[in-house]
Amino acid sequence: MNRKALLLLVALLVMSLSLGVVAAQDSEIPSGGTVIVVQAGRGQWSANFNPLSPNPSDGTRQVMYDPLVVFDPLDGGEPTPWLATSYEYSEDATALTFHLRDDVLWSDGEQFNADDVVFTLELVEQFPALDRQGVLNFFAGVEKVDDYTVTVNLVDVYSLAHTVVGKQRIVPEHIWSAIEDPVTFSNDSPVATGAFTEVTDFTPENYLLCRNPNFFLEGQPYVDCLAYPAFTGNEQSNLAIINGDVDWGGNFIPDIDNTFVALDPEHNHRWFVGVNPWGFYVNATKAPFDDVQFRLALAQAIDYGTIALTAENGYIETPQEVAAGIWPQFQTFVPESVFEKIREMGLGVFDVERAAQTLEAAGYTDQNGDGWRDMPDGSPIEFTVQIVNGWTDVVTAAQIMSQGFQDAGLNASVVTPDQTTFQANLQGGNFDTSLGWAIWGETPWNFFDNIMNSTRVDPDTGNSTGQFQSRVFDPAWDQLLQDFLQSVDPAEQQAIIGQLVDAYVTNVVHTQIGVFPAWFEYTTSRFVGFPNADDPYAIGAPWQEETARLVATNLRCADAASCGE
Amino acid sequence: MRFLVRRTGFYMVAALIAITLNFFIPRMMSGDPVTAMFARFQGRLEPRTMDALRETFGFVDAPIHEQYFTYLQNLLQGNFGTSITAFPAPVTEVIGNALVWTLRLAGTATIVSFVGGTLLGIFAAWKRGRFSDSVILPFLSFIGAFPYFFVAMLLLYILAFGLKWFPLSHAYDLSIRVDWGSPEFVMSVLQHAALPAFTIVITGMGGWMLGMRNNMIGVLGEDYIVMAQAKGLSDRRVMLTYAARNAILPSVTGFAMSLGFAIGGALLTEIVFSYPGIGFWLLSAVNGRDYPLMQGIFLMITLAVLLANFMADVIYVMLDPRAR
Amino acid sequence: MEHSNVPAGQTTVVAPVIHPKSARRLRLPVPDWLRSILHNRKAAAGIAILVFFTLIALFANQLAPTRNAARIVGPGSQAPSADFLFGTSRQGQDIFAQVVHGARTSMAVGFVTGTVIMLIAITIGLTAGYVGGWIDELLSLITNVFLILPGLPLIIVVAGWLNRPGPFTVVLVLSVTSWAYAARVLRSQTLTLRNSEFVAAARVVGEPSWRIIMFEILPNMTSLVVSAWIGAVLYAILTEAGLEFIGLGDANAVTWGTTLYWAQNNQALLTGNWWTFIPPGMCIALVGFSLTLINYGIDEITNPRLQNQEHEGDAK
């Protein structure tokens, strides 16, 4: 054992002594133990604990470096104070002030204060490659008001600024100011404010993140360490989960109720909450996808129920309301008239005959007798549905969809490029139709901005920076999206979203095929305190960057053995 | 000696061509690393951030010949650049960590498979029609006809998951501290390597056995073998010193080439058994359009094959005086 | 498979022990040639299995009539029954239909690839061996470069580059990357044959080079070419399955490899749906084994020693 390890051991001993004191005060909650965390196939680890880097190791953004505010997608973006106790906009809404906790220490014992926040934001400004959140979209400087208060100045009114700055991970000035190139900095011995900051036993196959001795929540975390073993694929990590080797998992496991839960119904659990909206995009720069009737027919020919049942194992339900795009997350924003319209148009319901009628009425008939419908001018229609090779659940969904299109008389087939090609096709507009996810942010604005904002397309290259775009655009929608950002009046914002969702539905801009869950399974044989349907305090998936910290700080060992004694 | 000098010249030319191909092939693929990264991020990166990253990774639009010469220059300095999938780790570090495991598992298993297969082949040729020839050989050939991953998956499910005779994944028990001095750790490594190594050996041995057997039979009919037998030399001596020595030559060449394949082909073993190694990184590099890593692994495999071939040449010269 | 074997028939083309004399014996009228193969028990068994699978491939539409065998036709995860002979996948596809139609694609890819590999190998190997000189030097260099380029990695990269995976891609990629070994073996055999009497005789008569290559040299290497071809087909079938298994194929195509890929992704063994995993795997293995058997047989027929002693061995 080398000196470093010895020091660590001593530190751990001292730590556990001091914790013993805490535990004595609060004898209800046992402490100790190592929770084994697994999330899908991550291959092999390469140490990178830089929270601002594009690909930090697991846990870095979840439990090691902290944001100012925790936004839980489950609560429709309801904020939980974290490093900041509160925030407010200025009168004219062009400045945003955060009030920080004054009892936070960095893991090396230094005091956390406003200087660190100012330093971090200025670092991001200096190195745009570190801008994970998109702060630079509106950033006009940051000021330290006092040791525990900072004010961020905005270029213009930007009503979402608090969600963006709030999620910024804060790094310590006293360490990072000496780093020459923070973009390529791999931060092997991190100093942070989170609950788990001490990297132990790092190998490409496994590492441990152990408790921060100075964590600001009294007595927390209750467990000593989180272990992150690496697996090459879903199959391999699923075997480990089923074998009982894993405490906290975020995997898609086929037929999970039989293959996992049933093995030990008392301890093995899963809790799937729908948070990932998936949809069907067309490329409206090509005929016939520029025709709203054609898009409507496609939407009517999608077998939503079979997709939910087959592709997603029946873990989700897809009622007709899903067609509103932002249902159920932001259902209060959807006017009743829009739901009526959805029912009237037959959106969100699988009805091949109705799809055929829609096509027939719009002039798409089989003119050359090959069994497939043609354009009104007689030219043949043939198109592909693209989806990433290897994403088997959505590949299955694409197959189900193309089967529905074929049954409606359309010559559709599925193509499966690799992920990079898929993305390049989408950005460059080189596709017919595609499946893809959408974004539900803290407000419904993010959803519509990605899908309907024409300014996201570069007029010279035709490349889009939008998440996914059907390229059905209207200048009026761009204006509405802009107006939302400029508005600080909730009623006005609500009205703007109402107009957008109406346009989204009326023009069949995009077709939501279901809200897919955040996969999350756990076993309580060693650790308890996971969120579930009865106690939905956070989304459970360990890869969830914002809320995993809420779970990790709440876990505790179930008995003496798992507490490490 | 002239033979070896000539071969060395050839290997140099081949290496240069391979290095050049190595540069161009990844650049012919669609999409760049930042697009790949954007895809992995599910589009949650801002365009400004992406541009800045592109610059960080060195993907600014320099003319292709300039990029090529920079690439050659860097190679000469042993600088393979920074990996993008394992950003910001240098490529050499990523390869170094992974290669050790691949060589340990796939390298050893391939050698065992070759040596075992060759010995069985000698035996089968000597004892024609006996057990090794009429039972083991067809059996191994049958196993060899299965797709490797199929055999590996079945064994993983039955022996590791079902019967729990072997560990499910990884190169050692993750709860044990990495320490090559501790017997407990070394035992754990051996335990974890047993099943993957077994699958490589059992699926590869049939080919070597058949090849060696047929070569032996060819050699056994030669006049000098008959002479040796007539002189009253022991069977054992004739078999090993006279026949096997000559019959093994073609197998040695085949083996040299298969070593390169073993490194690249270890991919399937690594995927099925979640075993660390170079093959899995190669697949990740391709999917992540990680040019530097891809090139590094490619180059390394090519050089390994060249080296193996050169060694085969040396062995050839040693075994076959005619080639001197 | 590519895992530990060198490409294109390493097992069978090692040590071509064919002397012009014995090779000449192969220039027999077809019935004799066929008879000698069918007389060999191993070759006959191999051919029987191969014919069986070829018939399945040819009559796939009659055995399992469907426009698209990837169609979802029934409830998922059904065990084998009268309705679905091999059960259904988790998605509800008919595995029997997939295996039957998969035979068509998998075997076609195997045989087409094997043939293309041999065409390239014959062209390059024979030209290099017969013409000699700087052409030989150049062609040998190219051959050797392709020999040392790591196969599987190259395949992965090229497959990624073509970006639309599918059976055609597999044919193309495997053909381009896997011909070198056979070309080298054929070249050295050509070198031997070039100095033989009958080639010298043809040259004296004034036959053009291409005629000598095509009609004097090539027919004298039939057995070598056939066994290398069979090796190449086996290699192609196994590698195709491997590529599809790691997800580099087209997940929508119906081949044995993709059926295995889906079985793996649906974690068939974990969920107990063994019927989606075992049949396609066994089909690949049986076709592979049949090819190996045929090659055994050819070896024995062309190499009298193997054959004679085999009989001695049997007699013991």
The half-sphere exposure of C126 on its side-chain side, counting CA atoms within 13 A, is 22
Chain B residue numbers touching C5 (CB-CB < 8 A): 144, 204, 207, 258, 261
Q: How far apart are CA C71 and CA C68, in angstroms?
A: 6
Nearest to A192 by CA among A58, A63, A37, A34: A63
Does residue A317 have a pLDDT over 80?
yes
Q: Are residues A369 and A507 in the same domain?
A: yes
- Pick A418's closest partner by Cβ from B43, B55, B287: B287
Facing A254 at nearest CB: one of C164, C248, C266: C266
- B320 neighbors B4 (Cβ within 8 angstroms): no
pLDDT-derived band at B87, boundaries 50, 70, 90: confident
Q: Are residues A351 and A484 in the same domain?
A: yes
Contact C1 B203 (CB under 8 A): yes
Mean per-residue pLDDT for A37-41?
Answer: 79
Instruction: Confirm whether B134 is domain-assigned.
Output: yes
DSSP 8-state symbol, A168: P
Cα separation, B143 vs B124, in Å, equals 18
| Mutual angle of helices C95-131 and C133-148, in 10-degree steps | 150
Q: What pLDDT shows up at residue B123?
A: 87
Tens digits of residue pLDDT in C207-251: 888 888 888 888 888 878 888 899 899 989 988 888 888 777 777
Write down the pLDDT at residue C6. Answer: 39
Same domain, A480 and A364: yes
Q: pLDDT tens, A69-115?
A: 998 877 666 789 999 999 999 988 899 999 999 999 999 999 999 99
- The whole-angstrom separation of Cα B188 and Cα A102 is 48
Tokens of A457: 């397309």
Residue C264 with chain B: CB contacts under 8 Å: 153
In a domain? residue A295: yes
Q: Does A37 score more than 80 pLDDT?
A: yes
Residue C314 above 50 pLDDT?
no
Q: Do β-strands A382-386 and A225-229 pair in parallel, antiparallel, or remain unpaired?
A: unpaired
Range of the domain at B195: 102-285
Minimum-distance CB partner of B87 among A55, A206, A465: A55
Residue A390 domain-assigned (yes or no): yes
Chain C within 8 Å of A401 (Cβ-Cβ)? no
pLDDT 10s digits, B109-167: 989 999 999 999 988 888 877 787 888 888 898 888 888 889 998 999 899 888 989 98
Chain B residue closest in CA terms to A52:
B49
In a domain, A414, yes or no: yes
Q: What is the DSSP letter of B161?
A: I
Q: Is residue C13's pLDDT more than 60? A: no
> DSSP state, A464?
B
Nearest C-alpha in A relative to C268: A254
Residue of chain A nearest B36, judged by CA positions: A420
Phi-psi region of B156 (alpha: psi -120 to 50; beta: other; left: phi over 0): alpha
- Within this chain, do residues A29 and A86 fall inside the same structural domain, yes or no? no
Residue A8 in this model has a pLDDT that exceeds 50: no
Contact B98 A44 (CB under 8 A): yes
Residue A181 lies in a domain: no
Of B30, B42, B47, the CB nearest to A437: B42
Mutation site, C89, C94, C270, interface A, largest A CB count within 10 A: C270
Q: Alpha helices of C86-221 — where are they, by DSSP H?
A: 95-131, 133-148, 151-162, 167-178, 180-194, 197-205, 209-211
B152: in domain = yes
Is residue B219 within 8 A of residue B243, CB to CB? The reply is yes
pLDDT at C294 over 60: yes
Q: Does the pLDDT of residue A161 top 80, yes or no?
A: yes
How far apart are the C-alpha atoms of B74 and B66, rounded to whole Å?
A: 12
Handedness of CA A179, A181, A183, A184 (dihedral sign): negative
- The answer to whether residue B30 is domain-embedded is no
Are B104 and B196 in contact by the 8 Å Cβ rule? The answer is no
Same structural domain for residues A207 and A304?
A: no
Compute the average pLDDT of residues A40-53.
Answer: 83
Helix (H, G, I), strand (E, B) or coil at C35: helix
Query: Among residues A549, A472, A414, which one has the least CA distance to residue A70?
Result: A549
CB atoms inside a 10 Å sphere around CB A97: 16
Residues forming beta bridges with residue A196, ordered by sequence position: A211
Number of domains in chain A: 3
β-pair type (A196-203, A206-211): antiparallel
Query: pLDDT per residue over A244-302, tens digit each?
Result: 899 999 988 888 898 899 999 999 999 998 888 999 999 999 989 999 999 999 999 99
Domain of residue A499 covers 276-516
- In-domain check, residue A186: no
Q: Which one of A242, A389, A416 has the shortest CB-CB distance to C270?
A: A242
Burial of C147 (0-12, 13-18, 19+ CB in 10 A): buried
- The whole-angstrom separation of Cα A133 and Cα A130 is 9
Residue in A259, A414, A418 closest to C270 by CB = A259
Indicate the range of A141-155, A495-509, B238-252 predicted with least confidence: B238-252
Q: Do A399 and C72 count as a contact with CB atoms less than 8 A apart?
A: yes
Disruptive mutation site among C164, C265, C276, C277 for chain A (greatest number of A CBs within 10 Å): C265
CB A277 within 8 A of CB A261: no
Span B135-147, pLDDT tens digits: 888 889 888 888 8
Question: What count of CB pairs under 8 Å joins A to B?
Answer: 142
In angstroms, how far is the first alpha carbon of chain C from the final one?
Answer: 34
- The secondary structure of C65-122 as a DSSP string is --S-TTSB-S-SSPPS-SSSTT-B-TT-BBHHHHHHHHHHHHHHHHHHHHHHHHHHHH
Q: Do C270 and A396 touch (CB under 8 A)?
A: no
Find where tokens 């497959």 sit.
Answer: C159
**3-state secondary structure at position A229:** strand
**C247 and A390 in contact by Cβ < 8 A?**
yes
Q: How far is A264 from chain C (nearest CA, A)?
A: 16
A333/A377 same-domain check: yes
Residues near A541 by beta carbon (within 8 Å), at least 6 away in sequence: A39, A250, A518, A519, A520, A548
Residues A297 and A390 in one domain: yes
The pLDDT of residue A529: 94
**Distances, alpha carbon A295 to alpha carbons A50, A292, A298, A300, B254, in Å:** 44, 5, 5, 9, 58
Q: How far is CA C169 from the centre of its chain?
A: 16
- pLDDT of C287 > 60? The answer is yes
pLDDT band at B303 (very low <50, low <70, confident <90, very high): confident
Task: Report yes or no on B255 lying in a domain.
Answer: yes
The winner for highest mean pLDDT among B184-193, C69-78, C144-153, C160-169 is B184-193
CB atoms within 10 A of CB C222: 17
Query: Which residue from C92, C248, C267 is facing A238, i.e. has the nearest CB?
Result: C267
What is the C-alpha separation between A531 and A520, in angstroms, rounded?
10
Structural element, H or E, at residue A512: strand A511-518
pLDDT (mean) for C2-10:
37
Q: How far is C151 from chain B (nearest CA, A)?
A: 7
Q: Chain C within 8 Å of A416 (Cβ-Cβ)?
A: yes
B63-76: average pLDDT = 82
DSSP assignment of A64-123, as one string?
Answer: IS--SEEEEGGGTSEEEESSEEEEEE-TTSSEEEEEEPSS-B-TTSPBP-HHHHHHHHHH
**CA C185, CA C175: separation in Å to the nearest integer?**
17
The phi-psi region of residue A431 (left if phi > 0; otherwise alpha if psi is between -120 and 50; otherwise beta) is beta
User: What contacts C184, CB < 8 A, 6 or more positions away?
Assistant: C125, C140, C143, C144, C147
Q: What is the overall mean pLDDT for chain B?
A: 82
Chain A partners within 8 Å of B52 (Cβ): 127-129, 131, 183
Give the 3-state secondary structure of A357-385.
HHHHHCCCCCCCCCCCCECCCCCECEEEE
- In this structure, is residue A564 part of a structural domain? no
Q: What is the pLDDT of residue A115?
A: 96
pTM recorded for the entire structure: 0.83
d(CA A135, CA A237): 36
C contacts of A306 (beta carbons < 8 Å): 72
Q: Domain for residue A187, yes or no? A: no
What angle (nearest 5°) sits at the alpha carbon of residue A511, between those of residues A508 and A515? 145
Q: How far apart are CA A226 and CA A251, in angstroms?
A: 17
**Chain B contacts of A183, Cβ < 8 Å?**
52-53, 56, 88
Q: Would you call A440 helix, strand, or coil by DSSP? A: coil
CB contact under 8 A, A418 and C160: yes
Element spanning A37, H or E: strand A34-38
Residue count of chain B, please give it: 324
pLDDT of residue A481: 94
As a whole-number percent, the residues of chain B with pLDDT over 90 amount to 10
Cα B90–B94–B96 angle (5° rounding)?
110
Query: Cβ of A418 and C90 within 8 Å?
Result: no
Question: C277: which residues sit within 8 A by CB, 6+ positions away?
Answer: B153, C260, C263, C264, C268, C269
- CATH number for the domain that contains residue A113: 3.90.76.10
Interchain contact, B214 vs C17, CB within 8 Å:
yes
> Does one domain contain both A245 and A140?
no
pLDDT, tens digit (0-9, with 9 covering 90-100), for B265-299:
788 888 888 888 888 888 888 777 788 888 888 88
C295 vs chain B: nearest CA distance in angstroms? Answer: 11
Specify the number of domains making up chain B: 1
| Arithmetic mean of pLDDT, A517-535 | 93
**DSSP β-ladder status, A225-229 and A34-38:** parallel
- In A, which residues are within 8 Å of B281 by CB distance? 43-44
Residue B249 lies in a domain: yes
pLDDT of residue C305: 66
pLDDT digits (tens, 9 = 90+) for C68-99: 788 888 787 888 888 888 888 888 889 999 99
Q: What is the pLDDT of residue B24?
A: 79
SS3 string of A286-351?
CCCCCCHHHHHHHHHCCCHHHHHHHHCCCCCCCCHHHHHCCCCCCHHHCCHHHHHHHHHHCCCCCC
Size of interface B-C (CB pairs under 8 A): 205
* pLDDT, averaged across chain C: 79
pLDDT at residue C30, as a whole number: 59
The mean per-residue pLDDT over the stretch A226-238 comes to 85
Alpha helix segments (H runs only) across chain B:
2-27, 33-40, 47-57, 64-76, 91-102, 108-126, 131, 137-145, 148-155, 183-220, 223-230, 235-237, 245-273, 278-287, 291-319
Measured between alpha carbons, how far is C99 from A460 in angstroms, rounded to an integer?
A: 49
Residue B7 covered by a domain: no
User: How many angstroms away from the CA of A419 is the closest CA of chain B?
Assistant: 7
| CATH number assigned to the domain comprising residue A223 | 3.40.190.10
Same-domain pairing of A305 and A322 = yes
Distance from CA of B109 to the nearest CA of A (A): 21
- Distance (Å, rounded) from C-alpha B120 to C-alpha B130? 12
Per-residue pLDDT at A550: 94
B96 occurs within a structural domain: no
In this structure, the answer to whether residues A60 and A95 fall within a common structural domain is no
Q: Which chain A positions have a beta carbon within 8 Å of C267's beta carbon?
A: 235, 238, 253-254, 259
Residue A508 in this model has a pLDDT that exceeds 60: yes
Give, in order, the Cα–Cα distances in Å from A410 to each of A297, A364, A385.
10, 9, 12
Structure tokens at C199: 């080639």
Residue A257 lies in a domain: yes
Please say whether the beta carbons of C243 and C159 come within 8 A.
Answer: yes
CATH number at residue B200: 1.10.3720.10
Q: Is A46 on the interface with B (CB under 8 A)?
A: yes
Kindly identify which residue of chain C lies nearest to residue B112, measuring between CA atoms: C4
Q: Is C162 on the interface with B (CB under 8 A)?
A: no
Query: What percentage of chain A carries pLDDT values higher than 90?
Result: 60
One domain for residues A401 and A448: yes
The tokens 């992406």 sit on which residue?
Answer: B50
**Testing the interface with A: which of C267, C269, C271 to mutate, by most A Cβ within 10 A?**
C267
Please tell me whether residues A285 and A228 are part of one structural domain.
no
Q: Which residue has the higher pLDDT, A180 or B238?
A: A180
| pLDDT tens figures, B199-229 | 999 988 988 898 888 888 878 877 888 888 8
| Exposed / middle / buried, residue B41 (Cβ in 10 Å: 0-12, 13-18, 19+) | middle
Note whether B283 contacts C: Cβ–Cβ < 8 A: yes
Closest residue to A231, CB basis, from B39, B89, B274: B274
pLDDT for C157 equals 67
The reported pLDDT for the residue numbered A430 is 87
Name subunits touching B (3+ CB pairs < 8 A): A, C
Cα–Cα distance measured from residue C31 to residue A14, given in angstroms and rounded to the nearest whole number: 89
Distance to chain A for B46, nearest Cα, Å: 6
In a domain, B106, yes or no: yes
Q: Say which residues have a Cβ less than 8 Å from residue A464's Cβ, sequence separation at least 6.
A: A426, A427, A429, A456, A457, A458, A471
The continuous run of DSSP H or E covering A448 comes out as helix A445-452
**B194 burial type by CB count under 10 A (0-12 exposed, 13-18 middle, 19+ buried):** middle
